[in-house]
Amino acid sequence: MPRLIILGCGTPAPNLVRWGSAFLLNVANDWLLFDCGPATTYKMYRAGVKVTEVDHVFFTHHHSDHDSDYPCFLLTRFDLYTGKENPLNVYGPPPTERLTGQLMGKEQGAFWHDIVALTNHPMSLGAYRGRGGVGERKPPVIHARDLTSGDVITGDGWQVRAAEVAHAQPYLDSLGYRVDSDVGSVAFSGDTRPCDALTELARDVDLLVMECTRREDDMSEGSRTAETGSRGSAQTAVDSGAKKMVLVHQNEMIDDPVARSEVIAEVKGIYDGPVIWGEELLEVKI
């Protein structure tokens, strides 16, 4: 069965239990990473997953709480290379391609100097050979691709479909994703207000990974244009027919036991399927 490991399910503001967004999905023989928010690489290590085993990254959008660990992920992955790893495939709404080039591209990349050092200095070449690297040490191969709504990525035993969701347009394009495989399906809302595109994307899905940022009654007018709260998350699960839901992207204000139980009660009053309170490093069976 697919396994979901929550690496990040908080907001841009760090607290002791959550920070930013990142989710690892193990499906068929691949690890897929959805978003790469703050400290993703470190939390991946804590979850026992090797950064070099992750060959597919999907960004929902480019708010920093969803992508600020991307340079760390890319550089750590390359630092541990033995030359036998698969190329890295990165997908997301614009500017995924531009951002990747600006970080790691030849000459133009902000970190190109380190790639030059790691591929030339005897110390780095010795470390490379020490961990089993053979032959010439080459720069990393990264295939970055901008996606739009309706795009489908097909892997070995899985398929990912993107749909535009309603978040920070027109400043940022935002996507939700659905992963289908022979052994189960998962939908990631990304950040969005409740919208028909997400409801359709998550139709009858086995697991809906759903933004639930705060109590519905605590949402500001601005927040309602771009985020989902307690009742909205529950209604999305009902309308889509999702079989199970995990709540993520919780604001700190709903993380104390009283507020948390109020949110869960409100959600369960609308949606009668299983509801999981997202926690970092929690593994969710699908």
Please, which of residues 124-143 interact with Zn ion by CB under 5 A?
none
Q: Which amino acid is at 172?
A: L
Verify binding: residue 18, Zn ion, rule CB under 5 A: no
Verify binding: residue 63, Zn ion, rule CB under 5 A: yes
Antiparallel, parallel or unpaired: β 54-58 and 88-92: parallel
Measure Cα distances from 207 to 25, 152, 185 in Å: 12, 19, 7
- Minimum CB separation of residue 12 from Zn ion in Å reads 8
State the residue for tokens 């926690």.
279
- Residues contacting Zn ion: total by CB under 5 A: 2
Which range in 13-21, 24-32, 60-68, 105-113 contacts Zn ion by CB under 5 A?
60-68
- With H, G, I as helix, E, B as strand and everything else as coil, classify residue 52: helix
Give the pair of three-digit tokens for residue 10. 């908080």
- Choose between 191 and 266: whose C-beta lies nearer to Zn ion: 191
End-to-end CA gap in the chain: 6
- Choose between 167 and 178: whose C-beta lies nearer to Zn ion: 167
Please, which of residues 190-209 interact with Zn ion by CB under 5 A?
191
Contacts of 20 (CB under 8 A, 6+ apart): 8, 10, 11, 12, 14, 35, 37, 38, 39, 40, 65, 66, 68, 69
- Choose between 191 and 216: whose C-beta lies nearer to Zn ion: 191
- Choose between 30 and 191: whose C-beta lies nearer to Zn ion: 191
- Choose between 63 and 244: whose C-beta lies nearer to Zn ion: 63
Verify binding: residue 164, Zn ion, rule CB under 5 A: no
- Minimum CB separation of residue 220 from Zn ion in Å reads 15
> 173: alpha, beta or left, given left = phi > 0 and alpha = psi -120 to 50?
beta
Which range in 176-184, 185-193, 214-222, 240-248 contacts Zn ion by CB under 5 A?
185-193
Per-residue DSSP letter, 37: -
- Minimum CB separation of residue 92 from Zn ion in Å reads 13
Contacting residues toward Zn ion, per CB under 5 A? 63, 191
